[in-house]
Amino acid sequence: MMHVGLFLSFLIFGSTGGEIAITRGMKATGEPERLRPKELLRFLGKALSNGWFWAGVPLMALSFYALLVLLSWEPISFVIPASALSYVVGTIGAKYVLGEEVSAARWVGVVLVCAGVALVALG
């Protein structure tokens, strides 16, 4: 069971870390001014030259491979709800790494997700 916890950690922290890194990179990149091919290619070039983007990609890949391994070991009815803990880590990362404001309603949602994961783990 310890290996399940380890790979669940890879899944949660890999996906959340990757999403936070890519978010930071994309916020630094900005957005395309118009949806024309030349400007979209320029936008893509800016995104691909951002280090945060490339820090996030391997983390997301790690997360995906951890998900595949977990699905080979455990039922999906456990893996998917347990992976919802990434909402908790993501909210904490959004607040403390990205500096986002997190409302009280979102924190209540995080607590409810934790309660749901605990129920799934018990059953």
pTM attached to this predicted model: 0.82
User: Which pLDDT tens digit goes with each residue over 37-94?
Assistant: 988 998 989 989 999 999 999 999 999 999 999 999 999 988 988 898 898 899 999 9
Quick one: tokens of 26? 């994309």
CA torsion, points 33, 37, 40, 41, in degrees to nearest 10? Answer: -140
Confirm if 36 and 18 have CB atoms less than 8 A apart.
no
Count of residues making up the chain: 123
User: Which pLDDT tens digit goes with each residue over 21-40?
Assistant: 999 999 988 888 888 898 89
- Under the banding of pLDDT at 50, 70 and 90, the label for residue 121 is confident
Residue 100 has pLDDT above 90, yes or no: yes
CA torsion, points 49, 28, 20, 23, in degrees to nearest 10? Answer: -90
- Percentage above 70 pLDDT, the chain: 100
